[in-house]
């Protein structure tokens, strides 16, 4: 196991031994989630099991409102919601590529309804996509890279956690995450996100959400094995005519070096609120430092020029 | 630990001397992370139970820990041994810990006087006596020995609703007691 | 998991029984076809291979047409039908089928709105060729002949294409090699024709040979944790434990009572069941001389169901009311009447975890807001006695597969909270103490009751194990019995519930067994204990052919082991172990002895599956389509529009004219549950983890209905029925489809989850206010799945103006008097 | 109910129009203030060193004092912005090259130390040699302090910031020169000796030119990612900033004579700098809030 990965691959691209690169001499195999959304029944057991295990704070009662967006009243991941089940209602027209007249979920809310006269002018729902979203525990984790205090670290299991006894709430990670997962809890001041139940992993236990999931849509295990299972599942679905099935975040050569929590989706990622092709910002960091250095030099030159005039 | 103690704890020092130069892992680990462990390990006992919500009957494990003198449920999750649920739960089952520990639970007797606008407290013992008195009185006032000339030996003075969320043993005692008292108006959710 | 096809109808399994749904997903992974029939496209439909939206109330037409498809196409599993069902029985000439009686069977008395079933009893001859015009098979064929795919489209809005696709799948997934399972819940039962929905499915499954076989059968998905238990050991007015009927005024003696129960199959041992029950209750006081204290039991004289009781309550006839973990102010139909009734009580005792709406009706009910009730004028004395949760008491739940599972007590209940076992036991002790000296005849039963159980802890909690042992039954020497076969009718045995006998066999609490499923067969017999006798699939004798060989290797389950001379297999045989398949009963034998070696349905007189039910059902021997009490459609099949025997309490002022016509209330409204909440919300709206998942009451409407009535997604709507008006947020969704009915135009349906009430973290209007008191004649279950309503944009009026709105609609519908 | 999130449908799909990224938690005025003070401190330190090297003791003195004050002001805003201010020392817990804020914290710490030493020796007159050495060293940390925030913002997932990783450091470097120049103008305007004034003026002019050029570059960022610099509130703010800066530059040209003009120039230049910082922050907020920017950028419509 070559520990000293080349510098470039330590910032971007394929990185096979993510714990080794973070200094762990021996460590268990990297574990992760494979979420097969084709069997998700949108029951939100994952959301509740996560909050109960991690004792996440309750939203204050006043804020509890119906979102009007199908059965999703959680709306997004956040500092106190580490699992979020998305609900997308689709008719035959807007499955796959967006046809001009098609009703995508976003515009079910809008004026599209005004012109409806006859009952059949709106295609019936024939598909209701449900997916449980979670932190991706990226191979190249922007949140971890940008964290100035070392609060965000790679664990021996290859997962990414916020060390709440270190975090000073600088919130740099909030802007760095390409998936919009981590956030700062305003009353508490610190940043929070899914830890893949790091404490449970230390006790040899399965994360709470994966254990609770009634249909095993959330599968937990060694990442390599999950990638094999997932690929087979995609073939199985394609064979049975579900040609929309595709993996998301499973490719170790993608923009974040592959995700520790990857998905099987049935439509484009953005339909679920996921970025289509996220790239870890650290990839361009060397170039950024060069431009900053250049600008600094310009500044010095500018000042020097300004003072170049002879002093009588 | 490094002989210089404090300096050795400083992650930057560990970055320079250890395998984690970029400070992404071992160098930056905090005491809290080193001490991480599941709270179920500190439980005094684990009890196998069944989810109280629906009729599927999912297996549950209830972890109890003794904290400052009293027992407290610290976690309820699925029982992987159950052939019905294989360790899995639905959102309600997964919320069982909150169901049994949330502050909104009313754990003291409340009593409302006729026509009163508010609750008032009442001792459990006193309440049981008052209820027993009322049952005996209602039974007496409404006893029906016969109905349309035939012996019925019953009372229509008080009724009972509920049982589907109760244990079989509880249903048994209620049915046994009610029937022996002649009270026939006894129903539960199986009918709604 | 072993099914080749699973039809989920009248149930939203993925939402209401999510963890059980893992097995449907498992079956689907193995290639099973999943079909979901539901007015809405729900989370179950999302996983189904085919979702078929149907007009609520047309189920008998849909299922009847499937029967017609099977019979007219000769797709029935002939050998199974001939051997295991009563298809061959020949009916008397006097029998008139609904087909010829314009929707009524022979023996109907309009005055009492009830049937006399004398003309339904089969003659006793049988025609195994199933060709005799008056044999059940042919009667069945004629009965459903007019239930055609076109009729299905007219009554249910299901297209002929969808219908034929389902019919073809059912047929191809049944027979020797393959089995189909049906799954239903209250979507079928909460109708005035509820029982008949299940009957139609039973007939269909018998014709296709799916009963008693792995991957087949009909799974009832019951609601609450132990609702199955609460009908086995019934806190119900019409039953004694083990489904023995409650005595009636004519049962002047034990013998007279026993003659009223048919001697069919294992009911033949009814004496031993009842006498053992009486010995369990009255102990030594019950002797042969005093009819084992049979006289001490009260007699019921008709409908004492919860709706009848509530109507009596409104008239002030009832003094006290006990609520054990039930919340009628939100959870029962006609919730407004439930609250008005409780206001007429002298005293109310509520046993629950939180202060539910029924406990605080005198403070926060909608009627206080409209001024119909005033707190200072409600004389009801209310006791709220906190209940222990499921982890603070030991005991058993019986799940929807008849399996008893023991849940262990993890810790003591806090403060005053006590288990219901404690409450019933100590209330009983106190009442018996107050009547200790009495010599009055009426008190003898109570005083003779065996009411001593070991108490533990300073709270004196009675031992649940002891109660379960009493239920299990003991022999003369006190030994715990191992099954109902050991029960005697001479008073030498005591048993609290004969079908549960064996749950403590050998002195071991079988219900507490926890052998991991990974260490036993897929039937998992060593986890918990299923009644009767730990059999997991009932009537599993039918999984073998008449000669005792499995119908096919793929579906082998129970079979005859010739050498061992007994039945064996994956499960406990639901049959006398030693009775060979070729056994022929003695002529004139009764009870179990009358059952032949090829008679799997051991509770029937002839051991045959009942296609035709000659006795026991109030609304006819064969399922017949009747429109719901409130429906936008007229019955397209018969002159008799709605159920001739349904009960709607027309004699009571509160329910005199509670039903509204389709002219003023044009849309169909159906009620249902959500995964995130629990029935009346007491155990979910009080929890932040669940309240935040579904915070507000909403109504699901199609985009076209939204456009028709100007409803805005996320906005407000007011739903009005002849009983009440409530407000809900609007969720515009294409998952609710308008149904195009040829010749009738478009039927719009509105969906309303009914969890909300005035207490808890998230509150809302109570949907059950909208529903009437209309019940099925057999089991008195209310019709809460279908009613008619109107819907308007915006929030509902506050205060008395709300009552005015409801009254304005009623006047328009010609229902002047107060509701 | 969700009208304002009603984004044009044309070619892209989203989850009910909801953001894909999390909008930054960095607040106004904290971030813009920190950026401005960091630039001022950095450039002022360089100015001071240059002044000292060209025997302009008065300007050197002012430069050092300004550099120290601005450094502490900046550090103050940075700490106030933290969710847990009492843990600000954790910024020096690790030294992570992958984290611009980690590197920035070390730069700020060093720079603050140096400018403090320089300022202290300036004020007390003690250890002048050491003070001068510290001042000289500060002219190395200063420029980095001024431009590292460009990397800090660019090294995020926010499309508008990430694609501007060339323009932002230049904007901040220019802003630094302008700020220091404006400071110099203000300080030296009231002194008879013109040479300080001329140097500061040249510095301010150079800064204004660089800052405006960088601002112009931001607006010209091709593709959707640059849109927030052209449109909406952030776009307006950026244009306002440039007008102020150009106005300031003009005033600087005219400031040879009157003290009032010099003061006006300093004010306009400062206002322009601050305004540019607010514009950059709000552009980042707009860019994160609208899912279109993420989807279009990653679907190749960048």
Output the pLDDT for position A113: 37
Q: What is the pTM of this model?
A: 0.93
Nearest CA to C420 out of B52, B143, B113 is that of B52
Between the two ends of chain C, the Cα-to-Cα distance in Å is 49
* B94 lies in the same domain as B115: no
The DSSP 8-state label assigned to residue A38 in this structure reads G
Q: Quick check: C393 and C419 in contact, CB under 8 A? A: yes
pLDDT at C689 over 80: yes
With CA atoms as reference, the chain A residue closest to C730 would be A68
Judged by a CB distance cut-off of 8 A, whether residue D70 touches chain A is no
C288 lies in some domain: yes
Residue D258: alpha-carbon gap to chain centroid: 28
Output the pLDDT for position A60: 77
Query: Using CB atoms, which chains have 3+ pairs under 8 A with D?
Result: A, B, C
pLDDT at C468 over 70: yes
Alpha-carbon dihedral sign for residues A229, A235, A241, A245: positive
With CA atoms as reference, the chain D residue closest to A103 would be D9
* B90 lies in the same domain as B162: no
Tell me which residue range forms the domain holding B23: 1-36
Judged by a CB distance cut-off of 8 A, whether residue D2 touches chain C is yes
**B-chain residues near C449 (CB < 8 A):** 176-177, 180
Element (H, E) at B75: strand B70-78
Last residue of a domain, one of B101, B123, B148: B101
Q: Please state, in angstroms and rounded to a whole number, the distance separating the CA atoms of residues D269 and D241.
A: 9
C442 lies in some domain: no
With CA atoms as reference, the chain D residue closest to B16 would be D95
Nearest CA to C4 out of C374, C429, C433, C555 is that of C555
Judged by a CB distance cut-off of 8 A, whether residue D254 touches chain B is no
Domains in chain A, CATH or no CATH each: 11-91+124-279 (3.30.70.20)
* C204 lies in the same domain as C235: no
**B-chain residues near A197 (CB < 8 A):** 38
What is the tally of structural domains in chain B? 3
What is the tally of structural domains in chain C? 4
Confidence at A310, pLDDT banded by 50, 70, 90: low
Output the pLDDT for position D9: 44
Decide if D20 and A189 are in contact by the 8 Å CB cutoff: no
Last residue of a domain, one of C220, C241, C263: C220
The interface residues of chain C toward chain A in range 715-734, judged by CB-CB distance below 8 A, are 729, 731-734
Q: Please state, in angstroms and rounded to a whole number, the distance separating the CA atoms of residues C136 and C130.
A: 8
Q: Quick check: C298 and B152 in contact, CB under 8 A? A: yes
* B118 lies in the same domain as B47: no
Which phi and psi (to 5°) does residue D172 adopt? -75, -35
Percent over 90 (pLDDT), chain A:
80
Nearest CA to B177 out of C233, C36, C344, C61 is that of C233
Last residue of a domain, one of C600, C629, C644: C600
The DSSP bridge pattern shows strands B120-121 and B110-112 to be antiparallel
* B91 lies in the same domain as B59: yes
Residue C706: alpha-carbon gap to chain centroid: 34
* C682 lies in the same domain as C763: yes
Over the stretch C139-149, which tens digit does the pLDDT of each residue have?
999 999 999 99
* C659 lies in the same domain as C757: yes
**A-chain residues near B25 (CB < 8 A):** 19, 21-24, 153-155
| Selected residue of C30, C687, C692 to mutate for chain A interface (largest A Cβ count, 10 A) | C692
* B120 lies in the same domain as B182: yes
CB-nearest to B147 from C249, C309, C527 is C249
Judged by a CB distance cut-off of 8 A, whether residue D6 touches chain B is no
* B52 lies in the same domain as B73: yes
Q: Please state, in angstroms and rounded to a whole number, the distance separating the CA atoms of residues C805 and C797.
A: 8
Nearest CA to D31 out of D172, D210, D174, D230 is that of D172
Q: Please state, in angstroms and rounded to a whole number, the distance separating the CA atoms of residues C390 and C222.
A: 19
Give me the DSSP letters along chain D.
--GGG----TT---STT--SSPPP---TTHHHHHHHHHHHHHHHHHHHHHHHHTT-HHHHHHHHHHHHHHHHHHHHHHHHHSSSGGGGGGGGS---TT-HHHHHHHHHHHHHHHHHHHHHHHHH---HHHHHHHHHHHHHHHHHHHHHHHHHHHSSS-HHHHTTTTHHHHHHHHHHHHHHHHHHHHHHHTSS-HHHHHHHHHHHHHHHHHHHHHHHHHHT--SGGGHHHHSHHHHHHHHHHHHHHHHHHHHHHGGGT-HHHHHHHHHHHHHHHHHHHHHHHHHHHHHHH-HHHHHHIIIII-
Over the stretch C716-731, which tens digit does the pLDDT of each residue have?
999 999 999 999 999 9
Over the stretch A2-16, which tens digit does the pLDDT of each residue have?
444 566 668 898 999
* C493 lies in the same domain as C544: no
Percent over 90 (pLDDT), chain C:
88
* C83 lies in the same domain as C204: yes
Element (H, E) at A248: strand A246-248
pLDDT at B43 over 70: yes
Q: Quick check: C812 and C660 in contact, CB under 8 A? A: no
* B138 lies in the same domain as B123: yes
Residue C244, SS3? strand
The interface residues of chain B toward chain C in range 57-86, judged by CB-CB distance below 8 A, are 57-60, 62, 64, 71-73, 76, 79-86
Output the pLDDT for position A101: 32
* B31 lies in the same domain as B47: no
Output the pLDDT for position C673: 94
CB-nearest to B91 from A48, A145, A203 is A48
Output the pLDDT for position C515: 95
Nearest CA to C203 out of C63, C56, C96 is that of C63
CB-nearest to A215 from C25, C675, C731 is C25
Provide the token pair at B33: 């992370």
Decide if C707 and A113 are in contact by the 8 Å CB cutoff: yes
With CA atoms as reference, the chain D residue closest to B30 would be D93
Residue C314, SS3? helix
C796 lies in some domain: yes
Nearest CA to C320 out of B121, B136, B123 is that of B136
* C171 lies in the same domain as C244: no
* B70 lies in the same domain as B53: yes
Q: Please state, in angstroms and rounded to a whole number, the distance separating the CA atoms of residues C487 and C272.
A: 6
* B77 lies in the same domain as B15: no
Judged by a CB distance cut-off of 8 A, whether residue D129 touches chain C is no
**ipTM reported for the complex, 2 dp:** 0.94
The DSSP 8-state label assigned to residue C636 in this structure reads S
Decide if B11 and D92 are in contact by the 8 Å CB cutoff: no
Mean pLDDT of A257-276: 96
Residue B111, C-beta contacts closer than 8 angstroms, at least 6 positions apart = B119, B120, B121, B122, B127, C381, C382, C383, C384
C120 lies in some domain: no
C448 lies in some domain: no
**C456 exposed, middle or buried (CB, 10 Å; 0-12, 13-18, 19+)?**
exposed
Nearest CA to C49 out of C32, C30, C62 is that of C32
Alpha carbon of A194: minimum distance to chain C alpha carbons (Å): 17
Output the pLDDT for position C288: 95
Instruction: Read off the CATH number of the domain in which C682 is found.
Output: 2.40.40.20
Judged by a CB distance cut-off of 8 A, whether residue C696 touches chain D is no
Alpha carbon of C714: minimum distance to chain D alpha carbons (Å): 7
Output the pLDDT for position D257: 67
Higher pLDDT, C648 or B130: B130
Q: 3-state SS of C48-67?
A: CCEEECCCCCCHHHHHHHHH
Instruction: Read off the CATH number of the domain in which C179 is found.
Output: 3.40.228.10
For chain C, helix, strand, coil in percent to 5 are: 30, 15, 55
Query: Using CB atoms, which chains have 3+ pairs under 8 A with C?
Result: A, B, D
Q: Quick check: A266 and A288 in contact, CB under 8 A? A: no
Q: Please state, in angstroms and rounded to a whole number, the distance separating the CA atoms of residues C139 and C560.
A: 34
Confidence at B10, pLDDT banded by 50, 70, 90: very high
Over the stretch C764-803, which tens digit does the pLDDT of each residue have?
999 999 999 999 888 888 998 999 999 999 999 999 999 9
CB atoms under 10 Å from CB of B165, counted, come to: 29
Tell me which residue range forms the domain holding C191: 5-89+131-220
Q: Please state, in angstroms and rounded to a whole number, the distance separating the CA atoms of residues C302 and C618.
A: 13
Looking at the DSSP assignment, which residues form a beta bridge with residue C324? Answer: C351
The interface residues of chain D toward chain A in range 164-183, judged by CB-CB distance below 8 A, are 165-166, 169-170, 172-173, 176-177, 180-181
Last residue of a domain, one of C197, C220, C243: C220
Instruction: Read off the CATH number of the domain in which B54 is found.
Output: 3.30.200.210
Judged by a CB distance cut-off of 8 A, whether residue D22 touches chain B is no
Output the pLDDT for position C818: 59
* B22 lies in the same domain as B85: no
Residue C239, SS3? strand
* B29 lies in the same domain as B43: no
Over the stretch C7-16, which tens digit does the pLDDT of each residue have?
999 999 999 9
Confidence at A100, pLDDT banded by 50, 70, 90: very low
**With a cut of 50, which residues of chain D have pLDDT below it?**
1-10, 302
**C-chain residues near D2 (CB < 8 A):** 714
* C661 lies in the same domain as C547: no
Residue A18, SS3? helix
């Amino acid at each position: 196991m070559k520990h000293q990965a080349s510098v470039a691959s330590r910032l971007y691209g394929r990185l096979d031994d993510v714990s080794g690169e973070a200094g762990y001499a021996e460590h268990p195999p990297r574990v992760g989630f494979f979420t097969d959304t084709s069997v998700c029944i949108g029951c939100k057991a994952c959301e509740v099991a996560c909050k109960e295990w991690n004792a996440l704070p309750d939203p204050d009662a006043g804020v509890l409102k119906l979102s009007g967006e199908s059965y999703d009243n959680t709306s997004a991941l956040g500092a106190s919601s580490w699992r979020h089940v998305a609900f997308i209602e689709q008719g035959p027209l807007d499955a796959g590529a967006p046809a001009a007249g098609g009703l995508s979920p976003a515009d079910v809310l809008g004026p599209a309804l005004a012109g409806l006269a006859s009952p059949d002018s709106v295609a019936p729902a024939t598909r209701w996509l449900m997916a449980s979203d979670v932190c991706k525990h990226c191979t190249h984790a922007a949140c971890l890279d940008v964290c100035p205090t070392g609060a965000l670290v790679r664990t021996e299991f290859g997962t990414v956690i916020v060390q709440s006894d270190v975090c000073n709430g600088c919130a740099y990670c909030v802007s760095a995450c390409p998936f919009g997962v981590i956030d700062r809890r305003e009353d508490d001041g610190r940043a929070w996100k899914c830890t893949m139940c790091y404490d449970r992993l230390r006790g040899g236990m399965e994360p709470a959400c994966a254990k609770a999931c009634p249909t095993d849509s959330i599968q937990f295990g060694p990442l390599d094995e999950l990638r094999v299972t997932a690929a087979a599942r995609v073939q199985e679905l394609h064979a049975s005519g579900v040609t929309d099935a595709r993996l998301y975040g499973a490719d170790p050569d993608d923009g974040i070096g592959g995700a520790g929590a990857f998905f099987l989706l049935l439509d484009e990622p953005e339909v679920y609120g996921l970025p289509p092709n996220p790239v870890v910002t650290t990839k361009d960091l060397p170039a950024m430092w060069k431009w900053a250095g250049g600008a600094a030099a310009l500044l010095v030159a500018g000042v020097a020029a300004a003072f170049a005039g002879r002093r009588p | 630990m490094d002989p210089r103690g404090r300096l050795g704890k400083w992650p930057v020092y560990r970055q320079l001397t250890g395998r984690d130069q970029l400070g992404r892992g071992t160098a930056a680990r905090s005491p809290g992370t080193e001490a991480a462990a599941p709270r179920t390990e500190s439980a005094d006992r684990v009890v196998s139970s069944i989810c109280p919500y629906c009729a599927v009957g999912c297996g549950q494990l209830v972890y109890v820990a003794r904290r400052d003198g009293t027992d407290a449920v610290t976690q309820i999750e699925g029982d992987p041994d159950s052939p019905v649920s294989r360790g899995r739960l639905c959102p309600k089952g997964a919320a069982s810990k909150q169901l049994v520990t949330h502050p909104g639970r009313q754990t003291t007797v409340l009593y409302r006087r006729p026509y009163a606008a508010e609750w008032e407290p009442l001792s459990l013992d006193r309440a049981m006596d008052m209820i027993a008195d009322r049952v005996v009185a209602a039974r007496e006032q409404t006893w029906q020995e016969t109905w349309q000339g035939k012996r019925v030996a019953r009372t229509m003075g008080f009724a009972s609703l509920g049982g589907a969320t109760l244990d079989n043993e509880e249903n048994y005692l209620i049915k046994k007691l009610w029937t022996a008292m002649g009270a026939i108006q006894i129903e539960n959710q199986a009918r709604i | 998991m072993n099914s080749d096809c699973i039809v989920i109808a009248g149930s939203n399994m993925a939402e209401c029984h999510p963890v059980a749904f893992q097995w449907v997903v498992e079956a689907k992974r193995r290639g099973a076809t999943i079909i979901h029939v539901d007015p809405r496209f729900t989370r179950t439909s999302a996983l189904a291979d085919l979702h078929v939206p149907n007009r609520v109330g047309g189920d008998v037409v849909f299922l009847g047409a499937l029967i017609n498809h099977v019979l007219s196409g000769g797709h029935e599993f002939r050998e199974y039908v001939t051997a295991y069902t009563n298809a061959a029985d020949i009916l008397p000439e006097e029998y008139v089928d609904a087909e010829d009686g314009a929707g009524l069977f022979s023996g109907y008395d309009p005055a009492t709105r009830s049937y006399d079933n004398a003309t339904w009893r089969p003659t006793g001859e049988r025609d195994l060729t199933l060709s005799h015009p008056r044999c059940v098979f042919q009667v069945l064929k004629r009965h459903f002949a007019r239930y055609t795919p076109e009729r299905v489209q007219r009554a249910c809005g299901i297209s002929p294409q969808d219908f034929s696709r389902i019919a073809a799948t059912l047929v191809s997934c049944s027979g020797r090699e393959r089995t189909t399972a049906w799954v239903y819940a209250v979507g079928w039962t909460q109708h005035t024709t509820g029982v008949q929905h299940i009957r139609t499915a039973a007939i269909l499954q018998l014709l296709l040979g799916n009963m008693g076989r792995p991957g087949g059968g009909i799974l009832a998905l019951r609601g609450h944790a132990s609702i199955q238990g609460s009908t086995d050991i019934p806190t119900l007015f019409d039953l004694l434990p083990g489904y023995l009927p409650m005595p009636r005024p004519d049962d002047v003696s034990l013998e007279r009572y026993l003659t009223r129960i048919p001697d069919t199959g294992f009911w033949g041992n009814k004496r031993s069941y009842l006498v053992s029950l009486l010995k369990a209750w009255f102990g030594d006081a019950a002797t042969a001389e005093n009819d084992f204290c049979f006289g001490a039991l009260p007699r019921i004289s008709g409908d004492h169901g919860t709706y009848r009781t509530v109507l009596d309550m409104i008239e002030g006839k009832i003094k006290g009311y006990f609520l054990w973990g039930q919340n009628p102010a939100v959870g029962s139909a006609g919730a407004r009447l439930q609250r008005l009734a409780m206001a007429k009580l002298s005293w109310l005792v509520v046993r629950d975890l939180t202060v539910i709406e029924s406990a605080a009706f005198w403070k926060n009910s909608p009627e206080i807001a409209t001024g119909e009730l005033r707190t200072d004028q409600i004389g009801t004395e209310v006791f709220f006695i906190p209940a222990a949760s499921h982890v603070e008491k030991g005991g058993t739940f019986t799940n929807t597969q008849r399996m008893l599972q023991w849940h262990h007590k993890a810790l003591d209940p806090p403060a005053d909270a006590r288990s219901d076992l404690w409450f019933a036991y100590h209330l009983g002790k106190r009442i018996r103490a107050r009547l200790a000296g009495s010599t009055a005849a009426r008190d003898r039963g109570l005083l003779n009751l065996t009411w001593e159980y070991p108490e533990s802890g300073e709270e004196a909690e009675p031992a649940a194990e002891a109660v379960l042992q009493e239920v299990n039954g003991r022999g003369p020497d006190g030994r715990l019995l191992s099954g109902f076969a050991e029960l005697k009718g001479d008073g030498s045995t005591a048993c609290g519930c004969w079908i549960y006998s064996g749950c403590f066999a050998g002195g071991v609490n079988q219900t507490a067994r926890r052998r991991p499923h990974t260490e036993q067969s897929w039937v998992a017999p060593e986890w918990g204990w299923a009644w009767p006798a730990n059999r997991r699939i009932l009537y599993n004798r039918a999984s073998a052919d008449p000669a005792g060989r499995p119908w096919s290797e793929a579906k082998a389950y129970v079979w005859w082991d010739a050498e061992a001379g007994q039945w064996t297999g994956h499960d406990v045989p639901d049959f006398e172990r030693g009775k060979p398949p070729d056994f022929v009963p003695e002529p004139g034998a009764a009870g179990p002895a009358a059952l032949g070696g090829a008679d799997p349905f051991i509770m029937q007189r002839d051991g045959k599956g009942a296609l035709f039910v000659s006795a026991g059902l109030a609304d006819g021997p064969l399922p017949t389509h009747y429109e719901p009490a409130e429906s936008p459609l007229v019955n397209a099949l018969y002159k008799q529009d709605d159920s001739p025997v349904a009960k709607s309490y027309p004699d009571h002022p509160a329910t005199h004219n509670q039903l509204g016509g389709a002219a003023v209330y044009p849309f169909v409204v159906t009620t249902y549950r959500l995964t995130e909440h629990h029935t009346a919300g007491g155990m979910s709206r009080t929890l932040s983890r669940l309240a935040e998942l579904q915070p507000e009451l909403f109504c699901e409407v199609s985009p076209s209905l939204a456009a028709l009535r100007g409803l805005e997604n996320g906005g407000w709507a007011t739903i009005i029925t002849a009983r009440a008006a409530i407000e809900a947020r609007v969720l515009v969704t294409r998952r609710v489809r308008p149904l195009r009915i040829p010749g009738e135009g478009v039927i719009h349906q509105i969906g309303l989850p009914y969890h909300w009430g005035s207490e808890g973290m998230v509150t809302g209007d109570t949907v059950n206010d909208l529903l009437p008191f209309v019940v099925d004649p057999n089991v008195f279950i209310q019709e809460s799945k279908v009613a008619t309503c109107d819907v308007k944009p915006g929030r509902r009026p506050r205060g008395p103006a709300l009552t005015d709105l409801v009254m304005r609609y009623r006047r328009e519908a010609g229902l002047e008097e107060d509701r | 109910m969700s009208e304002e999130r009603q984004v044009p449908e044309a070619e892209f799909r989203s989850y009910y129009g909801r953001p894909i990224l999390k909008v930054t938690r960095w607040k106004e005025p904290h971030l813009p203030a920190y950026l401005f003070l960091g630039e001022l401190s950095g450039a002022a330190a360089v100015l001071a060193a240059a002044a000292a090297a060209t025997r302009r003791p008065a300007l050197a003195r002012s430069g050092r004092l300004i550099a120290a004050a601005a450094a502490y002001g900046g550090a103050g805003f940075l700490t106030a912005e933290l969710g847990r201010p009492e843990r600000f020392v954790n910024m020096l817990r690790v030294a992570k090259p992958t984290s611009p804020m980690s590197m920035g914290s070390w730069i700020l710490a060093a720079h603050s130390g140096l400018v403090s030493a320089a300022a202290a020796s300036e004020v007390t007159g003690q250890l002048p040699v050491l003070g001068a050495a510290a001042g000289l060293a500060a002219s190395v940390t200063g420029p980095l302090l001024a431009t590292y925030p460009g990397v800090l913002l660019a090294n995020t997932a926010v499309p508008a910031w990430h694609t501007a990783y060339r323009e932002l450091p230049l904007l901040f470097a220019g802003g630094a020169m302008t700020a220091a120049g404006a400071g110099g103008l203000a300080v030296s305007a009231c002194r008879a000796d013109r040479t300080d004034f001329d140097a500061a003026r040249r510095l301010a002019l150079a800064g204004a030119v660089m800052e405006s050029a960088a601002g112009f570059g931001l607006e010209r960022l091709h593709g959707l990612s640059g849109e927030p610099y052209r449109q909406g509130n952030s776009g307006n703010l950026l244009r306002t900033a440039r007008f102020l800066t150009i106005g300031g530059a003009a005033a600087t040209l005219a400031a040879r004579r009157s003290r009032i003009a010099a003061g006006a120039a300093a004010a306009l230049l400062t206002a322009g700098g601050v305004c540019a910082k607010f514009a950059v922050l709000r552009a980042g907020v707009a860019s994160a809030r609208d899912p279109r920017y993420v989807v279009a950028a990653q679907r190749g419509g960048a």
